[in-house]
């Protein structure tokens, strides 16, 4: 069976259904790619361990970049909201939702880390 391509944006799946969506998320998770876009929405799967993707190198990498140009990351969402606030001179909102224990507090900490950097 040929190697299946994983998609960093689920909108790019050639056949979007529950099975292909879950297979894509599973494939990315096994590669420790915990972030996946659905357009401008970011899906995060809690790895229940620390990944080395939250350091100054990543802060700099995602600074002032268009959403979707780089691999999905919580820093990209934070940066897009920050620059939209500056350009439009209007408040921005990031909604974080999920089950208890899904990592909402940790995601909020990563957002704040990027915004303060």
Residues 6+ apart with CB under 8 A from 1: none
Tell me the two tokens of residue 2: 């040929």
Helix (H, G, I), strand (E, B), or coil: what is residue 101? coil
Q: How far is CA 16 from the centre of its chain?
A: 19
> Is 108 known to sit in a ligand binding site?
no
The answer to whether the CB of 26 falls within 8 A of the CB of 34 is no
101 is in an annotated binding site: yes
User: Is 39 assigned to a binding site?
Assistant: no
Q: What are phi and psi of 4, to 5 degrees?
A: -80, 135
Would you say how long the chain is, in residues?
A: 117
Say whether 12 counts as a known binding-site residue. Answer: no
Q: Is 40 annotated as a binding residue?
A: no
- Residues in binding site for ATP: 98-105
List, as residue ranges, the binding site.
98-105
């Amino acid at each position: 069976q040929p190697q299946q391509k994983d998609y960093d944006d689920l909108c790019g799946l050639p056949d979007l259904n529950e099975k292909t969506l879950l297979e894509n998320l599973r494939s990315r998770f096994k590669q420790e790619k915990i972030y996946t876009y659905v357009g401008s929405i970011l899906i995060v799967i809690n790895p229940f361990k620390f990944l080395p993707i939250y350091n100054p190198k990543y802060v700099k990498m995602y600074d002032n970049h268009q959403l979707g140009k780089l691999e999905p990351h919580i820093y990209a969402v934070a940066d897009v909201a920050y620059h939209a606030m500056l350009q439009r001179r209007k408040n921005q909102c990031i909604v974080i939702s999920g089950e208890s224990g899904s990592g909402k507090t940790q995601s909020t900490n990563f957002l704040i880390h990027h915004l303060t950097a």
